[in-house]
Amino acid sequence: MLQGRGVAFSLCEAELVWPRILEDALSGGLQPVYGREERWQQQLDSPVLRPPARRDLRRYAVPMLGIYPARGCPYSCTFCSVIKIAGHAVRSQPIETTLASLRAAKAAGVQFVMFTSDNFNKYPDVRILAEAMIAERIELPFFAQCDAQIHRDPDLVRLLARAGCFQMFVGAESFNAATLRDAHKFHNDPGKYARIVALCRENGITTHFSNILGFPADTERGILEHLSTLRALGPDVASFYILTPIPGTEQYDDFRRNGWITETNLDRFDGTTVTWRHSNLANEDLQRLLSRCCREFYPVGEIASKLWRILRRRRDFRSFASLFSVSGFSAMSRMAGILGHHPMAGGIGRVRKDRAADYADLRLRVFGIDRAPLPSSLPLSRADEEINRRAKLVPA
Ligand code: SF4
């Protein structure tokens, strides 16, 4: 619909097509679509990151930088867009590139790093990187995302802590084994979640559990039970999202086939809005439960005791990042729950400069449409299917 109207689509990772897109744009011969044949760059040779200048970083309360040492995840959760964007094969950039990016970040005044790789513990070079960070005394606190099998690897947790991990994000999603199975999140064992919290705590790492509300079998009672189980478990931080059939995922295709998707505005498929018809919960109920979880996971007394636990720990270069992230996220989540926002949408204050509606006429004039229709998921080429097939892990 937008092809031929000045919009070019890239269906693959930038390394594969970006130089060609620039050349075509400069010569006025932009193609409507790039990268149909292969979606993923096999050998990553990303450049060293250039962090923003010190004076720009000063605008932030705590300057943070994202670094992406490895892409891809071997699992097959039906709601996940990562595996559609980055594939199942875990590919990594050279260790030296990551180390040079870390050095540059530290020199620029970055105070903590977020490793944006989705499954840091499945990154084959994770130990080598952590050991190099320790040997070089990089001492830059970092946040890492690990899968729920991290409980099997206490040595890695210890190593990550020594390298600077101050917070571990784990996609817990649900305590219901049948729900996890239906979502093909076979590798999560809710019985082991407490072990993850304990293991991280032993190593001075705070835990951030991510939770999805509104799986097809969820009920109001089930969600409230989830909240109280989670509170009893006591990860330092928890974030909550509404189950969203993200275009391109298996779940999207499934929900679309069943005629369950009700939202037509793609901007709203953001994890904070109800976009489909749930058989047990009305939209307002799910939205209300989301706010309630954001608020009630963080009673003031519990926030205080989590902060006290961090303060009592022996101080090291991670202490400030732990304190800041737990206090900041707890306060933001409580406030968002009270105001009916999402803690990850809008920060602590909103500056309203314009609205989507301000551009509706322009969009109609230029593109001839008011809203792009919901897309169909793009099939992979045969070669990409084969790469995925070889990389996929069998369910644990
Ligand atoms: S573990 Fe599941 S949700 Fe997490 S990145 Fe992999 S496929 Fe996606």
Q: What are the pLDDT digits (tens) for 256-297?
A: 999 999 999 999 999 999 999 999 999 999 999 999 999 999
pLDDT tens-digit map of 62-88: 899 999 999 999 999 999 999 999 999
Task: Report the chain's mean pLDDT, rounded to a whole number.
Answer: 94
Q: Is-contact 164 139, C-beta < 8 A?
A: yes
* Atom from ligand 1 closest to the CA of residue 173: 3
Percent of the chain, pLDDT > 70?
Answer: 98
Question: What is the position in ligand 1's atom list of the atom closest to the CA of 187?
Answer: 1
Output DSSP code: residue 48: P
How far does CA 304 lie from the centroid of its chain? 27
pLDDT over 70 at 396, yes or no: no
SS3 184: coil
Provide mean pLDDT across the span 142-164. Answer: 98
Which domains does the chain show, CATH number per domain?
Answer: 1-37 (no CATH), 46-349+357-391 (3.80.30.20)
* Number of C-beta neighbours around residue 129 at 10 A: 22
Checking if the pLDDT of 244 tops 60, the result is: yes
Using CA atoms, how far residue 325 sits from 65, 101, 203, in Å, is 14, 22, 17
Does 239 score more than 70 pLDDT?
A: yes
pLDDT tens digit string along 82-106? 999 999 999 999 999 999 999 999 9
pLDDT over 50 (residue 246): yes
Question: What's residue 346's pLDDT?
Answer: 67
Tell me how far the alpha carbon of residue 76 lies from the centroid of ligand 1, in angstroms. Answer: 7
pLDDT category at 24 given cuts 50, 70, 90 is: very high
Q: What ipTM does the predicted assembly reach?
A: 0.99
Has residue 247 got a pLDDT over 50? yes
Q: Band the pLDDT of 2: cuts 50, 70, 90.
A: confident
Within 6 Å (CB) of ligand 1, which residues are found? 73, 75, 77, 80, 82-83, 118-119, 147, 171, 185
Residue nearest to atom 8 of ligand 1 (CA): 80
pLDDT per residue as tens digits for the range 30-60? 999 999 999 999 999 999 999 999 999 988 8
pLDDT-derived band at 321 (thresholds 50, 70, 90) equals: very high
Q: Compute the residue count for the chain.
A: 396
Our mutation pick for probing the ligand 1 site, out of 81, 88, 90, 118, counting the most ligand atoms within 8 A of Cβ, is 118
Q: Which residue has the higher pLDDT, 60 or 232?
A: 232
Over range 302-326, report the average pLDDT: 96
- The answer to whether 38 and 384 have CB atoms below 8 angstroms apart is yes
pLDDT of residue 389: 92
- pLDDT digits 0-9 by tens, 363-388: 899 888 888 889 999 999 999 999 99
Pocket test for ligand 1, best of 71, 76, 77 (most atoms within 8 A of CB): 77
Question: By the 8 A CB rule, do 210 and 169 touch?
Answer: yes
Q: Write the CA distances from 124 to 148, 149, 221, integer angstroms.
A: 17, 15, 41
pLDDT value at residue 341 = 86
In the predicted model, is pLDDT for residue 393 greater than 70?
no
The predicted structure's pLDDT at residue 291 = 96
What's residue 352's pLDDT? 84
**Two tokens at 215?**
């799986």
The stretch 219-238 carries a mean pLDDT of 98
What is the arithmetic mean of pLDDT over 327-338? 94
DSSP secondary structure string, 340-360? T--TTSSTTS------GGGGH
Asked if the model's pLDDT at residue 351 lies above 90, the reply is no
